[in-house]
Every structure is written in C-alpha cells, then in structure tokens.
C-alpha cells in the first residue's frame, strides 16, 4: 500500500501552535468559549490543543468530547451497526462560542450530525470548526472549516490516515493512502 506523508510531527506541532494563536486572537480571554472534540478522533487533537492553549495563554478553556453517532444520516443504512463513543461534556453550551475540533473534514456528515447532537447541551451563540486536514472538493454538505491546518485534494479512492505517537505509532504523522 502506497502512503504519501502530508504532515510530519513538526508540521503538526506548528499547526497546533498556530491554532492556539488564532483562538487567542479571535476569543481573547475565552470567557464565553468552549471546545468540543468530535468522537472518535477529534479528542486526540483536542487534548493536544487544550494543553498547548493553556501553556501559551495561561487560560484553561473548558472542553469536552461529543459523540454524534446516533445523529448521523447514515446511521441506519449500514450493514453493521455503528459503535458509539462516549460523550463527555460537563457544562452547558447555551449562549457559548463553541469550537468543534476534528482531525479530518471529509464529506461534512459528522460535523452536521455534531451540530444536531450538541443542541442537547443548549443553543450556542456561535459554532466554529477546526480541522487539521480539509479534504476539499469532497463535501456532501456546505460545511467549511474556520481553522484549517492543511487543505488537500484527494480522490474518492484515497484515505487520509492520522497517526498519533500516543496511540503507539512511532511519531505523529498524517498520510494520504489508498482505501483498502
């Protein structure tokens, strides 16, 4: 299987630091801002981002993990049932600025489902989207990221694979590969 490296560990670190500075610029002292990682892979990005954001800004921004499995429009159309992940949100988002965090934006279906799922925690004032990789030209919904690490052109036959050292890989890395 052919793999093409598109972001290495150093580049990912630079992107995460850039995201932090953009958030500080746009949200100042974060008094009305929360971060939500989209399960299953968004929390991996969010954990790194939250630690770095606190280190840079000195502010501990409230964050949680949101699972949108049962809000997906393809939930009942699969041969095998989807496995839900844990939602961990210990705060209301009513009137808050919410930043949804994920690793890769592909069709937009997960983000659409997440917007439905988060309403259970209140009606946000504003919702922004942050992704490490935007697979542009593949959208099923008109969803665009507010914060993007890298935009890539990919074919339907390709897959963007994100590897984290925390999950047993040698280094943090993002690859484009052919779907199995």
% of the chain with per-residue pLDDT over 90: 83
CB 174 within 8 Å of CB 165: no
pLDDT tens-digit readout, 131-151: 999 998 888 899 999 999 999
Check whether 52 has a pLDDT greater than 90.
yes
Residue with tokens 């890395």: 173
The pLDDT of residue 54 is 97
The pLDDT of residue 75 is 57
- pLDDT band per the 50, 70, 90 thresholds, residue 38: very high
% of the chain with per-residue pLDDT over 70: 94
Q: What is the distance between the alpha carbons of residues 165 and 168, in angstroms, rounded to a whole number?
A: 5
CATH classification code of 3-70+84-178: 3.40.50.2020
Going from N- to C-terminal start, the domains of the chain cover: 3-70+84-178
The pLDDT of residue 83 is 73
CB 140 within 8 Å of CB 107: yes
Cα atoms in the Cβ-side hemisphere of radius 13 Å centred on 34: 24
Q: What is the mean pLDDT of residues 103-112?
A: 95
Residue ranges of E strands in the chain: 3-7, 33-38, 63-66, 97-105, 126-136, 147-153, 158-163, 173-178
At 68, list the tokens.
């949108």
Check whether 67 has a pLDDT greater than 60.
yes
Of 75, 89, 86, the residue nearest 122 (C-alpha): 89
The pLDDT of residue 74 is 64
Residue with tokens 């002292």: 29
The pLDDT of residue 81 is 67
- Strands 63-66 and 33-38, how do they pair? parallel
Cα atoms in the Cβ-side hemisphere of radius 13 Å centred on 91: 17
Q: Say how many Å lie between the first and final Cα of the chain, rounded.
A: 9
| Residue count of the chain | 180
CB 64 within 8 Å of CB 88: yes
């Amino acid at each position: 299987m052919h793999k093409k490296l598109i972001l290495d560990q150093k580049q990912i670190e630079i992107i995460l630091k850039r995201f932090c500075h953009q958030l500080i610029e746009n949200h100042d002292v974060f008094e009305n801002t929360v971060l939500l990682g989209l399960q299953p892979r968004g929390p991996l990005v969010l954990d790194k981002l939250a630690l770095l954001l606190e280190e840079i800004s000195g502010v501990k921004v409230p964050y949680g993990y949101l699972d949108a499995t049962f809000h997906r429009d393809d939930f009942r159309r699969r041969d095998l049932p989807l496995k839900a992940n844990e939602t961990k949100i210990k705060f209301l988002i009513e009137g808050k600025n919410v930043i949804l965090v994920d690793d890769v934006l592909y069709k937009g279906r997960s983000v659409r489902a997440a917007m439905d799922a988060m309403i259970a925690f209140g009606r946000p004032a504003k919702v922004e989207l942050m992704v490490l990789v935007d697979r542009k030209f593949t959208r099923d919904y008109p969803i665009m990221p507010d914060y993007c690490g890298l935009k890539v052109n990919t074919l339907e036959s390709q897959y963007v694979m994100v590897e984290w050292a925390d999950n047993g890989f040698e280094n943090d890395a993002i690859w484009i590969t052919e779907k199995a």
